[in-house]
Chains A and B, each alone.
Chain A
Amino acid sequence: MDKFAELFAVLILVSAVLNAGSPFIEFGIKLYAFQSLMLALYTLMVALHSNTPSLYWSFSITILFKVITIPYFLFKTLKKTDIKREMDSVIGIPESVVLAGSLTLLSNIIAEKIITSVIAFGSLIFTISLATFLIGAMLMITRKTLFSQIIGFLTIDNAIFLAGNSFTRGMPLIVEFGVLFDLLAAVLILSLLIINIKKSSINKTMKHN
Chain B
Amino acid sequence: MIELALAVPALILLLSLFAGVIYMSYIQIAASVIVFAAVIDGVLFVKPDKIFLGGYFFIDSLNAVVLFTVSLLELFIAFYSFGYIRTEIKHGLSKRKFKYYFFWKNLFILSMMVSILANNLGIFWVGIEGTTLATALLVSFNRTKEAYEATWKYVLMCSAGIAIGLFAIVILYFTTSDFYGQSIKALSFLNIIKVGGKLDKNFVLLAFILALTGFGTKVGFAPMHNWLPDAHSQAPSPISAMLSGVLLNTALLGILRFYQIALSAGIYSAKYFFIGFGFLTIAISALSIFKQKDYKRLFAYSSMENMGLITLGFGIGGIAVMGSLLQILFHALNKGAIFLSSGNVLAVTHERKIDKIKNLSKMMPVTSFMLLLAVIGITGTPPFAIFLSELLIIIGMFSFNVIFGFIVLFFLILMFAGLLSKTLLLRGNSNDGEKDGSPIIGFIEGKSLHPFLLYVPALLIAISVIFLFYLPEPFLLLVKSAVREL
Contacts and interface: CB of A to CB of B under 8 A. Distances in A.
Interface string A154-187: 0011001001100111111011001101100110
Contact of A178 (B126, B144, B155, B200): B126
B187 A200 contact: no
B184 A174 contact: yes
B447 interface: no
Nearest to B167: A160
Q: B140, B152, B200 — which one has the most chain A CB atoms within 10 A of its CB?
A: B152
A175 B187 contact: yes
B170 A172 contact: no
Contact of A189 (B133, B143, B171, B206): B133
B143 A153 contact: no
A200 B170 contact: no
Interface stretch (B23-31, B158-166, B259-267, B278-286): B158-166
Contact of B152 (A54, A169, A193): A193
Nearest to A54: B182
A149 interface: yes
A106 to B, nearest CB: 17
Contact of A160 (B133, B148, B152, B170): B170
Given A189-B136, A189-B137, A193-B148, A171 B173 contact: yes
A170 B182 contact: yes
Nearest to A209: B226
B98 interface: no
B149 interface: yes
Given A189-B136, A196-B140, A153 B163 contact: yes
Contacts of A196: 140, 143, 148
Contacts of B174: 119, 167-168
Contact of A197 (B148, B156, B182): B148
Interface string A128-151: 000001000100100000100110
A170 B186 CA distance: 12
Q: B120, B143, B182 — which one has the most chain A CB atoms within 10 A of its CB?
A: B182
Contacts of B137: 189, 192
A190 B173 CA distance: 30
Contacts of A172: 122, 182-184, 186-187
A206 interface: yes
A93 to B, nearest CB: 22
Interface string B191-234: 00000000010100010000000000000000000100000000
A90 interface: no
A209 B171 CA distance: 32
B184 A175 contact: yes
Contacts of B120: 175
Kindly state the interface size class of chain A when it binds its partner.
Answer: 35 or more
A178 B123 contact: yes
A137 B187 CA distance: 27
Nearest to B129: A182
Contacts of A169: 182
A196 B149 CA distance: 10
Contact of A171 (B122, B129, B153): B122
Contacts of A140: 156, 160
B344 interface: no
B182 A52 contact: yes
A53 B159 CA distance: 29
Contacts of A164: 170, 173
B151 interface: yes
B145 interface: yes
A131 to B, nearest CB: 14
Contacts of B140: 193, 196
14 contacts: A52-B182, A156-B163, A160-B163, A160-B166, A170-B182, A172-B122, A174-B184, A175-B120, A179-B166, A182-B130, A182-B133, A186-B132, A189-B155, A193-B136
A-B pairs, 3 with minimum CB distance: A175-B122, A178-B126, A172-B184
Interface of B: 120, 122-123, 125-126, 129-130, 132-133, 136-137, 140, 143-145, 148-149, 151-153, 155-156, 159-160, 163, 166-167, 169-171, 173-174, 177, 182-184, 186-187, 200, 202, 206, 226
Interface of A: 52, 54, 114, 117, 119, 133, 137, 140, 146, 149-150, 153, 156-157, 160, 163-164, 167-172, 174-175, 178-179, 181-182, 185-186, 189-190, 192-193, 196-197, 200, 202, 206, 208-209
